Structure 1
């Protein structure tokens, strides 16, 4: 479920965006506690979602609690969505149905996406596009001619995917020096679900995610992959389409954030957020406690010092734009 709240009245103010879902915790390496048992040790808070991003949400709520509603001259919004990790579905529902979201857009509230940035101001991130290619065969004993190995149709598709991948790494058209790495990021996975070497694979699935940057047309890569699948006679399904987020680093809002946080310059990150769906919020950036290096790990944690600093930082932004 999505949870959206407002503190105070009027227009403008500050909107904080987060999500409450986490990635699965099937693999967890901490022997003394489970993934959903918050544990503090050595200056860290361990647990699934501690970094991505329940720790950030708790940080902002603690900051908001330091200010009473009667003190606010402009409103404070908290938007916390479901299903961010599986396609930004909660954010899509907020945009489609929430009256409070429409209100904060109309009032030109400033937006903060609380994903982990180690409290650095982030003015842009890569997008996320995904698709799935499926070839089908027939399982049989591999010593006979009765089977049809689904991988044989998949192999030429993978060759074309390697060609596209290499092109985006080497061609300046697909590069942007503001990001690291400065080329389109790819993750290509393959699974034929075969459990024995003497059974022909009845199905082969290639799952692809790529991360385009501002100024690119990611649909061109999508169509090239679709055409390759058609040429190989295999199925093709688009699973994710979310463009990059970008707020010009020289813009008034980013400069305000830098001044408020005492930082010299903003930066970009290579992961994505559901903030791309909040495009109607014209002043928006990513700023949250914790490091992306700890997100999704099998011993996920957030430093308590990041939480403490984050509370003070968020409080200063609330006082700057809502009081």
Structure 2
């Protein structure tokens, strides 16, 4: 389903058979009454008037979010030349979180030489607390498991297993302890430098038994600035395939591409979103397990 001005969309897709896609016009469609009801039920803590809901649904990103919330669509991928925050805000406002999730976070996947590497939070939470970092790590590990990859988490720091008490290291150490308490089976390292986490064999003589046998594949950073910068540097110099940011913690898959995303990144995001929607439907209907990745 495509959302926007029908005439403009069909003009841009004039070489495609109109029977292969549907178009929903934010300014006039048959779903508004139903979506108003869903919006008001979802926001029972802050009920909005019918007119306010109808006005909000004129925004294509809000409309797309609510079509997914209502079960009319299975997932959403959005992107334009607008700022990322403007596009993702309707999802954060109207999208339903999974049980136990306090805040939605963002994660990028980068594959280099068939090696998957996940970075979080690269998109939303500027300065996460220790509790939020732990939640991000565990939420990311569940997404990675769904891709049939064994998650191995590292909390990335400027020092290795430090005894310092500065804010970021103390925060990472507390996040690690929370993860070990809540999910003791999850392979997880406390504060380590990125190269140690990604290439432990190089440093085994230095740190010995403190290092795991295999490299980490989920890197959790102390703040948004570090995570986003690390991902972008790795993306450029690693010359890999990029996916994301994937939003973590939503009940239904809704994702937004930032400005400057390539056609390949759009296609990758569509694949991930469709896969997550498929998994969700399978889990609800009959518990089927599917996989798109071996590794």
TM-score by length of 2: 0.29
Bigger helix share: 2
Between structure 1 and structure 2, the one with the greater Rg is 1
Bigger strand share: 1
TM-score by length of 1: 0.27
Higher relative contact order (CA 8 A, sep 6+): 1
